[in-house]
Amino acid sequence: KKIGFKINPLTKTFSSVNEIIKGYIYIEEIRSSLDYDIDGIVYKVNDLTLQKRLGSLSSSPRWAIAHKFSSEKATTVIRNIEIQVGRTGALTPVAKLDPVNVGGVLVSNATLHNEDEIIRKDIRLNDTVIIQRAGDVIPQVVEVIKSKRDKSSKKFVFPDKCLCGRPAVKDYNETSKKLDVVKRCSDTGFNCEFMAREKIKHFVSKEALNIEGFGKKIVEDFWSLNFIRLPQDIFTLDYKKIEKLEGWGELSVSNLKSAIEKSKAISLAKFIYSLGIRHIGQENAKNLSRYFISIRNFLKLCNPNLLMNEINSLDEIDGIGETQVESLVHFFKDKKNNKVVHELSKILNIQDFIEKKIDSFFSGKNIMFTGGFSTMSRSEAKSLAETLGAKILSSVNKKLDYLVTGLSNPTKNKIDKAKELGVKIIEEKEWLKLSRNS
């Protein structure tokens, strides 16, 4: 503010929870009078030193949290329910509504989430319902006004098949020991055209190949024109045909061509993530790239004779559990998936994983922490270890180099197992000394 930055006049500093709540209520009351739309406020720790200590998760800082406003509601009628198929095969029911204004936005669609939700809320065709924009973004049905239900109301029968014709199934969840609430297409990749289209949207996204200007709308358009059916089709597009399309010209086609060419240089981690394998997010893709190092090694998963041998060693990777392993097996047992991976490996310049070399005592070491620490939080200790080039493990195994024990309640089982495996055990004081000298 002192050096001339424009500061939002509604920004306040609070010293108690009661003050925070009062501030929240005040902003919610005046939000409709603002010149811009807001869906909530953000609380931040007002101390840069504490912010640094708290650190961040992969997707958000630990020192800030959002507090959303209650959603605005409206009443309308469900005229139809359609099924949408997502990238991982999830069948999501979407209510087609009589258009209604909710919070300044005209809403004609609302998510019904899944089959169980439709049954639980007893949602039927031609029902009058209350809808809201969840977080003021995604419209959803809150409840049915049953007093307005008439003879035109019809129960919706959730399909047992995907839109592609393949069986839709509920997976068994090993953790909950129950069937998942979501029905999914039984295909595992690009055989289902509805999944394939969504996978291509994921493939070109910012977090994956990041092809500038190649958004979801272009994927939809090119799909409808039969220009693309698989990710590799993007690299063999007929630019002369595209140039003749409405809204396209020589310059826009040239920009698209350049963006596609630029996207060919990609890290192994981003390539793995771009494939859209279920349960393999950005962090797991990084872990897999660290394990395989090169695309040549990763391609072993495409070989039926080598697949299970490679898969059996993956559970040693931190973050890769039974769920991820099972998902990888399903993906690479599919011939079309293997074809996609092979062809992309020839088209793209996939760079080997290179571990950042840090010259410290803990560089390249596997570390695990147990117990409470007197000088810092567990998360701070992990962050410090990572900045020193160490890798954090979540379980005691033969790959562990150091088990660091805090003064408060270190887990006895972990200590006993570490001793059994010959893992070096160091206390907090020694850990800090070694860290400072690194």
Write down which residue in 354, 376, 403 finishes a domain: 354
- Residue 171 covered by a domain: no
Higher local confidence (pLDDT), 294 or 52? 294
pLDDT number for residue 83: 98
**Is residue 196 domain-shared with residue 297, that is, in the same domain?**
yes
- Residue 102 covered by a domain: yes
**Is residue 333 domain-shared with residue 376, that is, in the same domain?**
no
| pLDDT one-digit tens code per residue, 47-98 | 998 888 887 765 678 899 999 888 788 999 999 999 999 999 999 999 999 9
- Residue 327 covered by a domain: yes
Share of the chain above pLDDT 90, in %: 65
Token pair 């002369």 is found at 240
Write down which residue in 68, 101, 128 finishes a domain: 68
- Residue 176 covered by a domain: no
**Is residue 278 domain-shared with residue 419, that is, in the same domain?**
no
- Residue 11 covered by a domain: no
Three state DSSP letters for the chain = CCCCCCCCCCCCCCCCHHHHHHHHHHHHHHHHHCCCCCCEEEEECCCHHHHHHHCECCCCECCEEEEECCCCEEEEEEEEEEEEECCCCEEEEEEEEEEEEECCEEEEEEECCCHHHHHHHCCEECCEEEEEEECCCEEEEEEECHHHCCCCCEECCCCCECCCCCEEEEEEECCCCEEEEEEEECCCCCCCHHHHHHHHHHHCCCCCCCCCCCCHHHHHHHHHCCCCCCHHHHHHCCHHHHHCCCCCCHHHHHHHHHHHHHCCEEEHHHHHHHCCCCCCCHHHHHHHHHHHCCHHHHHHHHCHHHHHHHHCCHHHCCCCCHHHHHHHHHHHCCHHHHHHHHHHHHHCEEECCCCCCCCCCCCCCEEEEECECCCCCHHHHHHHHHHCCCEECCCCCCCCCEEEECCECCCHHHHHHHHHHCCEEEEHHHHHHHHHHC
Could you give the CA distance from residue 74 to residue 434 in angstroms, rounded to a whole number? 61
- Residue 168 covered by a domain: no
Instruction: Tell me the average pLDDT across 232-248.
Output: 96
The model's pTM: 0.73
Binning pLDDT at 50, 70 and 90, where does residue 378 land?
A: confident
Higher local confidence (pLDDT), 62 or 202? 202
Phi/psi for 421 (5° steps) reads -90, -5
- Residue 116 covered by a domain: yes
**Is residue 252 domain-shared with residue 393, that is, in the same domain?**
no
CATH number of the domain encompassing residue 390:
3.40.50.10190
Write down which residue in 354, 375, 395 finishes a domain: 354
pLDDT number for residue 176: 74
pLDDT number for residue 316: 76
- Please state, rounded to an integer, the average pLDDT across all residues of the chain: 91
Instruction: Tell me the average pLDDT across 347-363.
Output: 86
**Is residue 239 domain-shared with residue 315, that is, in the same domain?**
yes
**Is residue 203 domain-shared with residue 237, that is, in the same domain?**
yes
pLDDT number for residue 58: 58
- Residue 172 covered by a domain: no
Domain enclosing residue 49, as ranges: 17-68
| pLDDT one-digit tens code per residue, 105-160 | 899 999 999 999 999 999 999 999 999 986 656 899 999 999 999 999 999 999 99
**Is residue 219 domain-shared with residue 295, that is, in the same domain?**
yes
Binning pLDDT at 50, 70 and 90, where does residue 388 land?
A: confident
Binning pLDDT at 50, 70 and 90, where does residue 318 land?
A: confident
**Is residue 346 domain-shared with residue 199, that is, in the same domain?**
yes
List the beta bridge partners of residue 64: 44
Higher local confidence (pLDDT), 388 or 263? 263
Instruction: Tell me the average pLDDT across 181-195.
Output: 94
pLDDT number for residue 61: 86
CATH number of the domain encompassing residue 94:
2.40.50.140
Other CB atoms within a 10 A radius of the CB of residue 42 amount to: 8
Count of the separate structural domains present in the chain = 4
pLDDT number for residue 37: 81
CATH number of the domain encompassing residue 218:
1.10.150.20
Given a cut of 60, whether residue 406 has pLDDT beyond it is yes
**Is residue 249 domain-shared with residue 331, that is, in the same domain?**
yes
**Is residue 260 domain-shared with residue 304, that is, in the same domain?**
yes
Could you give the CA distance from residue 229 to residue 198 in angstroms, rounded to a whole number? 11
**Closest residue by Cα to residue 347 from 227, 182, 233:** 233
CATH number of the domain encompassing residue 59:
3.30.1490.70
**Is residue 239 domain-shared with residue 378, that is, in the same domain?**
no
pLDDT number for residue 136: 55
**Is residue 328 domain-shared with residue 193, that is, in the same domain?**
yes
